[in-house]
A and B are shown apart, each in its own frame.
Chain A
Amino acid sequence: QVHLVQSGTEVKKPGSSVKVSCKASGGTFSKNFVSWVRQAPGQRLEWMGRILPISGTAKYSQKFQDRVILTADDFASTVYMEVSSLRSEDTAVYYCARDDDIAIDTYMDVWGKGTTVIVSS
């Protein structure tokens, strides 16, 4: 059973960037997409985009496509999410999650524990 291990808490200044990692443990991503979902304090879940590690193909939510870059190192079974031009509203817990299928309307069946990103001056 694959587990997703995410990097630790980050505290960043407004205007800076943050890069969060997500590594598959106990297995690989195989041919699954990996999605990123964020949750601001007290708010609902928000899907940011997804990447296919084996090819690097990424699809973004329109809301994030100008400030978010998803990358992958398939040999290391690790995907990365970088957010630039951080603002206070980006303070949230960021989750990576494995898509069950290549279909875009699929579900996310394995989740990382989340990475807290705090943006504060």
Chain B
Amino acid sequence: SYVLTQPPSVSVAPGQTARITCGGFNIGSKSVHWYQQRPGQAPVLVVYDDSDRPSGIPERFSGSNSGDTATLTISRVEPGDEADYYCQVWDGFSDHVRVFGTGTQVTVL
């Protein structure tokens, strides 16, 4: 089955930049989507198709995808960005399922 690996946690000071990686074999050939999940709440889509933003999501959220790594970048981090972040792709080769990453907890210092 296809595996997506994320760092368990990322800590960042307010105003700085947080980078969250999502590693998977040849992930650059797939469309990657990112979700933010605050404690006790449902996920919210923040980036889709590698680098596009839904309406209402600040420009501070951006994404990239190449090779074996996709990255979600949060610029000028704010306290409200503190949450878990999950990457997601479609595994069309083995299990034919949508796969989520292991999740990264972003802590704003």
Contacts and interface: CB of A to CB of B under 8 A. Distances in A.
Interface stretch (A11-19, A67-75, A110-118): A110-118
Interface string A89-119: 0000001010010001111110111100000
Contacts of B7: none
Given A61-B97, A111-B43, A105 B31 contact: yes
A78 interface: no
A101 to B, nearest CB: 10
A62 to B, nearest CB: 6
Contacts of A106: 31
A105 B100 contact: no
A9 to B, nearest CB: 13
Given A35-B98, A45-B86, A100 B44 contact: no
Contacts, number: 60
Interface residues of B, number: 27
Interface string B80-107: 0000001011101001111111110000
A55 B89 CA distance: 25
Interface residues of A, number: 22
Contacts of B49: 107
Interface in B51-101: 54, 86, 88-90, 92, 95-101
A111 B103 contact: no
Interface of A: 35, 37, 44-47, 61-63, 95, 97, 100, 104-109, 111-114
17 contacts: A35-B98, A44-B86, A44-B101, A44-B102, A45-B37, A47-B88, A61-B95, A62-B95, A100-B48, A105-B89, A107-B88, A108-B35, A108-B43, A109-B48, A109-B54, A111-B42, A113-B41
Interface of B: 30-31, 33, 35, 37, 41-45, 48-49, 54, 86, 88-90, 92, 95-103
- Listed from nearest, the 5 A-B pairs whose CB atoms lie closest are A105-B90, A47-B98, A107-B33, A111-B42, A107-B48
